[in-house]
Amino acid sequence: MLKLQNYINGKLVAPQNKQYIDNYNPATGAVYSLIPKSNKKDLEKAVEAAENAFLSWKNTPQEDRSNILLRIADLIEKDLHSLASAESFDNGKPVSLATKMDIPRAAQNFRFYATAALHNHTNTYQTDENILNYTLREPLGVVGCISPWNLPLYLFTWKIAPALASGNCVIAKPSEITPYTAFLLSKICIKAGLPAGVLNIVHGLGSEIGAEIVAHPQIKAISFTGGTQTGANIARVAAPMFKKLSLELGGKNPTIIFADADYQKALTGAVKAAFTNQGQICLCGSRIFIEKIIYEKFKKDFVEEVKKLIPASPASVNTNFGAVVSKEHLEKIISYVEIAKSEGGKILCGGTQTHPKGFENGYFFQPTVIEGLAYDCRTNQEEIFGAIATIQPFETEEEVLKYANSVRYGLSASLWTENNSRVQRMSKGLASGIVWVNCWLIRDLRTPFGGVKDSGMGREGGFEALNFFTEEKNICIYSTNV
């Protein structure tokens, strides 16, 4: 049985209590590895290592830090296929998706921030002929990065890379549900020559070691991606300690399709937005609103396309729909089918667990489309985070904006129309941090990422991330020699 290890002070080490957690393969339902069940003693070792490494890493020339991070990016790219296979095995997603998206993006995260930090700048202000003000941005010190299970290495590196690039030392915790590629990243960091203590990865339960990271007095900032309730709990602990917080939380995102949209592109885009990664992306468009004049045609074509998504072995390059991440999450998704039925919903396709041949004990669920629900019912208001999409007709812009903005979340929205005036009106009216027009999930790392309302606080991506992991200092010089 494979035993994963913590990465502390540059070494792979067992948890001090010698306790482990079972790690399951979602496609088979079988335990395939053991995860350290780390506790406060492991965290103290990690924090001590990070504090000891901080001054040296902070004072390392920016170009040297950049070169180390670029070596990490190179090694991730070199191990693309083995990392993609590991991600698929651990998470249940199709290996083709991990190969095309997850692992390339992890390498891109390191490459982008390794170079972006070289171009970050500060400001100078000439107050008058005797007074000069300028600003410096300095790393915070030891910071905490806690990432989710849906895009394991992708989101893990998105947090770690800007923190390291800006001179911080990091205590990072991957999800206990999908820890394998974070463990493999530990080995890559050792191979790349990352100095001991600069990055420390501790595995374990979010309710235990994750909570300890949030509460530790020497950890100056927390970057967290996950559920809204967990984010609220983190804020309650961290805010009185005056920690910096970046919380990327839930989403219940609308896809809005007008009759004047490019029909085929909108159809393909809506399927992709609803069901990529088995619907387990916070940006998935699970509420689909279709202009009434094309509703019946779109419904028929949409269901036909969804039926082409066949749950099968995640390891097969031909699989377009993998397994749900865990038994508990599968049960949650199934429970929402029953909720939808009780609310008057009609199941147009899917709606049940499925058992592909050879994977009878795996966590597979048929992609599901439901119609006939009110916009404000539980199914349309609560984050399911699975392969369930609802469809509903609308007649006017005002009506669909009411539907789209009715939820407590405001992470993203996708809008399909060829009317440029409508694009401007709708984009302004949608209460979300991101609006995709005639596309979905196109990300430029230079742009800010984050939501409004209960979808979180702060922004990730671009220079916003570098700024988050630094503190601004103003220096005012008065000269009497001018």
User: For the segment 197-222, what is each residue's pLDDT rounded down to a tens digit?
Assistant: 999 999 999 999 999 999 999 999 99
145 flagged as catalytic: no
Whether 403 and 269 map to the same domain: the answer is yes
Whether 268 and 212 map to the same domain: the answer is no
In degrees, rounded to 5, the angle at the alpha carbon of residue 29 between the alpha carbons of residues 23 and 35 is: 5
Residue 410 within a domain: yes
**Helix-strand-coil percent breakdown of the chain, rounded to 5?**
40, 25, 35
Q: State the pLDDT at residue 99.
A: 98
Strands 131-139 and 470-478: antiparallel
Say which residues have a Cβ less than 8 Å from residue 406's Cβ, sequence separation at least 6: 375, 376, 380, 381
Q: Do residues 199 and 193 lie in contact, with contact meaning Cβ atoms separated by under 8 Å?
A: no
**Whether residue 274 has pLDDT greater than 90:** yes
Q: Which domain holds residue 132?
A: 2-249+455-474
In the chain, the amino acid numbered 162 is P
**Whether residue 381 has pLDDT greater than 80:** yes
Q: State the pLDDT at residue 186.
A: 98
**Whether residue 187 has pLDDT greater than 60:** yes
Q: State the pLDDT at residue 48.
A: 98
Tens of pLDDT, residue by residue over 93-149, are: 999 999 999 999 999 999 999 999 999 888 899 988 899 999 999 999 999 999 999
Whether 315 and 430 map to the same domain: the answer is yes
**Whether residue 19 has pLDDT greater than 60:** yes
Q: State the pLDDT at residue 81.
A: 98
Q: State the pLDDT at residue 347.
A: 98
Q: State the pLDDT at residue 129.
A: 86
Whether 123 and 80 map to the same domain: the answer is yes
Q: State the pLDDT at residue 120.
A: 83
Residue 426 within a domain: yes
Q: Would you tell me how many other CB atoms lie within 10 Å of the CB of residue 32? A: 14
**Whether residue 168 has pLDDT greater than 60:** yes
Instruction: Determine the average pLDDT of the residues in 159-165.
Output: 98
Whether 271 and 367 map to the same domain: the answer is yes
Residue 67 within a domain: yes
Q: State the pLDDT at residue 456.
A: 96
pTM for this prediction: 0.96
Instruction: Determine the average pLDDT of the residues in 172-177.
Output: 98
Whether 143 and 281 map to the same domain: the answer is no
Detail the DSSP E strand segments found in 300-411. 346-349, 353-354, 364-365, 368-371, 388-394, 409-410
Q: State the pLDDT at residue 193.
A: 98
The count of domains in the chain is: 2
Residue 319 confidence class, pLDDT cut points 50, 70, 90: very high
Residue 88 within a domain: yes
As beta bridge partners, residue 212 has none
Residue 80 within a domain: yes
The pLDDT > 90 percentage for the chain reads: 97
**Whether residue 482 has pLDDT greater than 80:** no
Q: State the pLDDT at residue 122.
A: 85
Instruction: Determine the average pLDDT of the residues in 259-275.
Output: 98
Instruction: Determine the average pLDDT of the residues in 281-291.
Output: 98
**Whether residue 183 has pLDDT greater than 70:** yes
Whether 243 and 266 map to the same domain: the answer is no
Whether 270 and 244 map to the same domain: the answer is no
Whether 198 and 259 map to the same domain: the answer is no
Residue 445 within a domain: no
Q: State the pLDDT at residue 472.
A: 95
Tens of pLDDT, residue by residue over 356-374, are: 999 999 999 999 999 999 9
The catalytic residue among 87, 248, 371, 383 is 248
Tens of pLDDT, residue by residue over 26-74, are: 999 999 999 999 999 999 999 999 999 999 999 999 999 999 999 999 9
Q: State the pLDDT at residue 121.
A: 83
Residue 449 within a domain: no
The catalytic residue among 282, 284, 383, 460 is 282
282 flagged as catalytic: yes
The CATH number of residue 414's host domain is: 3.40.309.10
Whether 310 and 333 map to the same domain: the answer is yes
Whether 301 and 195 map to the same domain: the answer is no
Residue 291 within a domain: yes
The pLDDT > 70 percentage for the chain reads: 100
Q: State the pLDDT at residue 327.
A: 98
Q: Is 470 left (phi over 0), alpha (psi -120 to 50) or beta?
A: beta
**Whether residue 481 has pLDDT greater than 80:** no
Whether 211 and 153 map to the same domain: the answer is yes
Q: Note every long-range contact of 148-151, with CB atoms under 8 Å and residues 24 or more positions apart, other chains counting.
A: 148/175, 148/225, 148/226, 149/91, 149/175, 149/177, 149/178, 149/325, 149/326, 150/91, 150/277, 150/280, 150/281, 150/282, 150/325, 150/385, 151/102, 151/105, 151/277, 151/281
Q: Would you tell me how many other CB atoms lie within 10 Å of the CB of residue 334? A: 17
Q: Which two tokens stand for residue 434?
A: 């991101």
- Average pLDDT for the chain: 97
The CATH number of residue 97's host domain is: 3.40.605.10
**CA contacts within 13 A on the Cβ side of 203:** 34
Q: Which two tokens stand for residue 99?
A: 């190969």
